[in-house]
Structure 1
Amino acid sequence: MRNEPIDPDVDLHTPARRAARPQGQAAVIAAVAVGGGIGAGARYGASLLWPTAAGAFPWTTLVVNVIGCAIIGIFMVVITDVRAAHRLVRPFFGTGVLGGFTTFSTYAVDIQRLADGGNARTALAYLALTLLAALASVWAAAHLTRRVIEWRQR
């Protein structure tokens, strides 16, 4: 038996559970890595197309994060409610591509730079706006996707 981390909620003493245990994570890691490169490349492209000047409101990062969250909302509904996806689709697209595309680390750096530059109100507004817009985006996209699916099934 390999020395891999085990979910504490899974009882591996049951033969059926033991047989269902994944035997390798190389494919998952590769899928996340390739997807992450694609997503990060797309985000970098957005920053080249719409650069943010030093000290200015970071609209590009905000828009990228809101769009990425909306796509996550759609994606999760499709792969959980509509059809079962290959086991590597979620790590590749959800964790990799969309994880690489959205950039909450840059969001944190943007807040710090705004605050350090004497724009504390703008930093706080950006902090709140991004949080609310990202949550609203993922919720609205998931909700609308479910409604469209229900409508199409009638």
Structure 2
Amino acid sequence: MTGYLTEIALVALGGALGGSARFALSGAVARRWGEAFPWGTLVVNVTGAALIGALAGLIAPEPGAAPSLWLLLVVGVLGSYTTVSSFSLQTMALARGGQIGAALANVAASVGLCLAACALGLWAARIWVG
């Protein structure tokens, strides 16, 4: 049970760090470019996807394993840093506000850019590792 409690503590610590980083970066982007479009959430999710891809290439655990670094950085930090819930709510707010084009653009940009960023991060990590 001690090992499991350590794993929970690593995820919790990472979650606190990732959530704080998301709040800071998303807020900074929103203050810079405004809140008419969810730029802050888009920037957070794309950078998080790139980092998750890179970490998958660098420290991906074996199937069924849960190494401490993966739990801390990927599950904790980046799991809390990225946010599908904010993306969903902001997209719905755009649609409900009659901004259907902006809502669709947010979906397309978020999904497309996040997948591309994750693939690029994974590719870069594999090139770096060799």
**TM-score for the superposition, normalised by structure 2:** 0.87
Cα distance in 2, alignment partners of residues 113 and 137 from structure 1: 25
Instruction: Tell whether 2:88 aligns with 1:132.
Output: no
| Counterpart for residue 27 of structure 1 | 6
Cα distance, 1:80 vs. partner? 3.4
Contact 2:27 2:40 in 1 (8 A): no
Cα distance in 1, alignment partners of residues 3 and 10 from structure 2: 13
Cα distance in 2, alignment partners of residues 47 and 30 from structure 1: 25
Query: Which structure 1 residue ranges, 5 or more long, are not aligned?
Result: 1-21
Cα distance in 1, alignment partners of residues 111 and 48 from structure 2: 13
| Counterpart for residue 20 of structure 2 | 41
Query: What is the number of residues matched between the two proteins?
Result: 124
Provide runs of 4+ in structure 1 moved above 6 Å.
Answer: none
Cα distance in 1, alignment partners of residues 28 and 60 from structure 2: 34
| Counterpart for residue 94 of structure 1 | 74
Cα distance in 1, alignment partners of residues 68 and 89 from structure 2: 31
Q: Percent identity?
A: 35
| AA in 1 matched with 2:28 | L
| AA in 2 matched with 1:135 | L
Cα distance, 1:35 vs. partner? 0.4
Instruction: Say which one has the larger Rg.
Output: 1
Cα deviation, 1:53-74, whole Å, max 9, x if unaligned, reads 45x1111110110000101111
Query: Which structure 2 residue ranges, 5 or more long, are not aligned?
Result: none
Q: Specify the SS of the correspondent of 2:30.
A: coil
Tell me which of 89, 100, 105 is aligned to 1:109.
89
Contact 2:26 2:43 in 1 (8 A): no
Cα distance, 1:24 vs. partner? 4.5
With a CA cutoff of 8 Å and minimum separation of 6, indicate the structure with the bigger relative contact order: 2
Cα distance, 1:26 vs. partner? 1.1
